[in-house]
Amino acid sequence: MTSPCYLRYQTPDLGYREAAVLIVVLWMCAGLVALVLVFGQIVALEYRSADSTVAGIQAEQAAESAIRYVCYTLENLETSGAMPDVDDAEYKAEAVFLGDALFWLLGRDPNARPGTMPIFSMVDECSKLNLNTATAEMLANLPRMTPEFAAAIVDWRDTDSQVSENGAEAETYTLRKPAYRCKNGPFETVLELKMVYGANDEILFGEDTNLNGVLDPNENDGEASLPSDNQDGELDPGIVEYLTVYSRNSQPAETADGGSLVDVNSKDQENLRSLLRETLGENRANDIVSQLGAGAEFRSILEFYIRSKMTPDEFDKLADSLTISSGDSESESGAGSDMEAEIVPVNVNTACEEVLTCIPGIGSSYASALVAYRLGHPKNLDSVAWVAQVLDEDAAIQAGPYLTTHTYQFSADVAAVGQNGRGYRRIYYALDIGDGQAKVVYRRDRTDLGWALGREIRSQLSEWRASTK
C-alpha cells in the first residue's frame, strides 16, 4: 500500500482527495473511540449506581435488623428498667457487621459535653424533659429557650384557648399565612414544635443541624457554611436535643425476683412494716415507722427516704420493693389527678446537665453537682437515694416527684452502610418497653440529614473501600 504522503507528493490532485478521505476516516475512528469511551463510562456509572443501589438496600435492611436486635436486647436486660450496659459483651452498638453491611447506634454521653467523636449507645428517652408535661417554667430553663416560646408551647398543647402570659392561642395562628389551628392537644412528635408560634431552626436545632450530638466541621466554622455557629469548639444544640414525647410514667409492676411491691402511701402500713422487719430487723423497723409517723403521705420515694432517716445502705436493701401511688387517687381516680398536672419523671442517672437544670428544686448549680456525683460514684446510683447526698433536704423533696432511676422508653438512632461502605442510611426509632415487650412507637428516616458518623469513620470506610478494590 502506498503511503498518503507519497501519493500527495506524486499526484497532488488525487493525493489531496485521498488525504481528505483519510482525515474523515481518522475523525470517524476518533469518534468511535470516543463512543466506546462514553459507553464504557456509562457502563461503569451504571455498575457503580447498581453497586450503591444494592448497598443502599443492604443498609436499609441492616437498620431494620438493628432494631430487632435492639428490641431483643431491651427485652432481655439483666435489670429491667435500666439502660443497657455498654460494657456488656452481649450488647454492641458500634460498627456491628451484618453480612456486607455495618450499623452503629448514635448515642449520647450524659456526663460529658458533646465532642467531635460520636458516642455509640441507645438513648434513654426518660433522660429528657417530656414536652407534654413539662411546665412553662421548666421549659424556660432550657438553653436558647425564651419565656415567650415556652408559654406558646404550653398554649399549643393545653386544651383551653386562654392565652397565657406571653403565649399564643388560636388568634395568633389564624393570622399566620397560611392560617392554621392551634392544636390544643398533646404533641405527637418533638418536631411538631415547628408549628408553634416563635419556632425557628436556631431555637429548635441550634448548631446541631444533623441531630447527631457531634460537633461536625460545618457546625464549627462560623458563617462559612450552614448552620451559623459561634465557632467556639463546643456543640451548642437546640432544644429538641433535650425534649421527648415518648417518656411515660411507667413503674415496675413487681420486684426483680417477681415479688409484690409495697406502696409507701398505702393507708395500711402493715406491708411496709413487715418489709422493714424482714430487711432491717424488728428494732430498726419500729424506729423507722415511728420516725415516719402514722398516716404520713409522700410525694415521692425520695421524700419517703429522707423522712424515714434510713441510712443509704439500709434504703438500698429495700428500694427495689417500694412503689408509690399518688395519695388518695386510688379511690377517686381522675378527680385528684385533674387538679394536679401529670408529672413524667426524668431519669436522674441518665439526664444531662441541661435537663437536670430544668427540674424544680435543682437549677444549674445542683445540676452540675449531680453530674459530678454520678461520675465520682458510678456504683452508688441504684436507687434515687443518692440525690439526697447532693441536694439539701428541701431541694431534694421538691425535686423528688420529678425524678426516677427507671427507664422504659428508649430511642435507637441507627446509621448503616452497605457493601463497600456505600449506601449510607439513617433511621431513628423510638421504643417503649413499659408493658414488658419492646414496641416501636415511632420511625423516621433521617438519611436526608446527611452523614452523622463523624470524620473518622468516614475516612476509615474510604480506606476500607480502597483496600477491597
Q: Which residues bind Ca ion (CB under 5 A)?
A: 155, 158, 184, 208, 210, 212, 214, 216, 218, 221, 225, 229-230, 232, 234, 236
SS3 331: coil
Q: How far is the CB of 354 from Ca ion (least distance, A)?
A: 14
In the bound state with Ca ion, the residue whose beta carbon lies nearer, of 154 and 384, is: 154
In the bound state with Ca ion, the residue whose beta carbon lies nearer, of 60 and 216, is: 216
In the bound state with Ca ion, the residue whose beta carbon lies nearer, of 106 and 322, is: 106
Question: Cβ distance 383 to 347 under 8 Å?
Answer: no
Q: How is residue 101 written as a grid cell? A: 453491611
Q: How far is the CB of 241 from Ca ion (least distance, A)?
A: 10
In the bound state with Ca ion, the residue whose beta carbon lies nearer, of 144 and 406, is: 144
Question: Cβ distance 113 to 235 under 8 Å?
Answer: yes
Distances (CA, A) of 323 to 115, 305, 331, 350, 386: 38, 12, 17, 20, 17
In the bound state with Ca ion, the residue whose beta carbon lies nearer, of 155 and 241, is: 155
In the bound state with Ca ion, the residue whose beta carbon lies nearer, of 166 and 271, is: 166
Residue whose grid cell is 461536625: 216
**Cα(270)–Cα(8) distance, integer angstroms:** 122
Q: How far is the CB of 168 from Ca ion (least distance, A)?
A: 9
Q: How is residue 293 written as a grid cell? A: 409517723
**Cα(104)–Cα(63) distance, integer angstroms:** 9
Q: How far is the CB of 316 from Ca ion (least distance, A)?
A: 39
**Cα(467)–Cα(380) distance, integer angstroms:** 47
**Cα(328)–Cα(370) distance, integer angstroms:** 32
**Cα(201)–Cα(286) distance, integer angstroms:** 58
Q: What angle do CA 372, 374, 380 make, to 5 degrees?
A: 140
3-state per-residue secondary structure call for 224-263: CCCCCCCCCCCCCECHHHHEECCCCCCCCCCCCCCCCCEE
Distances (CA, A) of 250 to 175, 197, 454: 40, 32, 35
Q: How is residue 25 written as a grid cell? A: 476516516
In the bound state with Ca ion, the residue whose beta carbon lies nearer, of 232 and 463, is: 232
In the bound state with Ca ion, the residue whose beta carbon lies nearer, of 214 and 438, is: 214
CB burial of 183-193 (b: ≥16 within 10 Å; e: otherwise) equals beeebeebebb
In the bound state with Ca ion, the residue whose beta carbon lies nearer, of 225 and 459, is: 225
Q: How far is the CB of 374 from Ca ion (least distance, A)?
A: 24
Q: How far is the CB of 387 from Ca ion (least distance, A)?
A: 30
Task: Residue count of the chain, please give it.
Answer: 469
Question: Cβ distance 441 to 431 under 8 Å?
Answer: yes
Q: How far is the CB of 215 from Ca ion (least distance, A)?
A: 6
Q: How is residue 314 written as a grid cell? A: 439500709
**Cα(368)–Cα(395) distance, integer angstroms:** 15
Q: How far is the CB of 35 from Ca ion (least distance, A)?
A: 45
In the bound state with Ca ion, the residue whose beta carbon lies nearer, of 209 and 419, is: 209
Q: For residue 410, what are the β-bridge partners?
A: 124, 431
In the bound state with Ca ion, the residue whose beta carbon lies nearer, of 213 and 401, is: 213
In the bound state with Ca ion, the residue whose beta carbon lies nearer, of 155 and 432, is: 155
Q: How far is the CB of 212 from Ca ion (least distance, A)?
A: 5
Q: How far is the CB of 197 from Ca ion (least distance, A)?
A: 11
Q: How far is the CB of 455 from Ca ion (least distance, A)?
A: 11
Q: How far is the CB of 185 from Ca ion (least distance, A)?
A: 9
**Cα(16)–Cα(381) distance, integer angstroms:** 96
Question: Cβ distance 175 to 205 under 8 Å?
Answer: no
**Cα(216)–Cα(203) distance, integer angstroms:** 18
